Amino acid sequence: GFTTTVRSHATAVFRLTLKGTGVAQARTSASAQSNTLYDLSGRHANGAASHGVYIRDGKRVVLP
């Protein structure tokens, strides 16, 4: 919730209460991982990738 209190000296007090989402941890299965290459912008690297830095299975891969 959000509450506002104004006191006599024109001081505003804000109270913000945040509640959790109930999500403890995200889970992925081993089958969700693949050999797909992604560039650093998150796009699929189509065809034969040229030299550079890519992401495969959540790990950085450097192609010379």
**Which tens digits make up the pLDDT trace of 2-48?**
766 666 666 677 888 888 777 778 777 665 557 788 888 988 887 77
In a domain, 55, yes or no: yes
6: in domain: no
Q: How many CB atoms lie within 10 A of CB 37?
A: 19
Q: For position 30, what pLDDT does the model report?
A: 62
pLDDT tens across 35-63, in order? 788 888 988 887 777 888 998 888 898 98
Is the residue at 40 inside a domain? yes
Residue 39's domain comprises 34-64
CA gap 53, 45 in Å, rounded: 11
In a domain, 38, yes or no: yes
Sequence letter at residue 54: Y
Strand partners, 53: 62
Is the residue at 1 inside a domain? no
Question: Does some domain include residue 27?
Answer: no
pLDDT of residue 4: 67
Nearest to 34 by CA among 50, 56, 49, 52: 56
Number of structural domains, the chain? Answer: 1
Domain assignment of residue 18, yes or no:
no
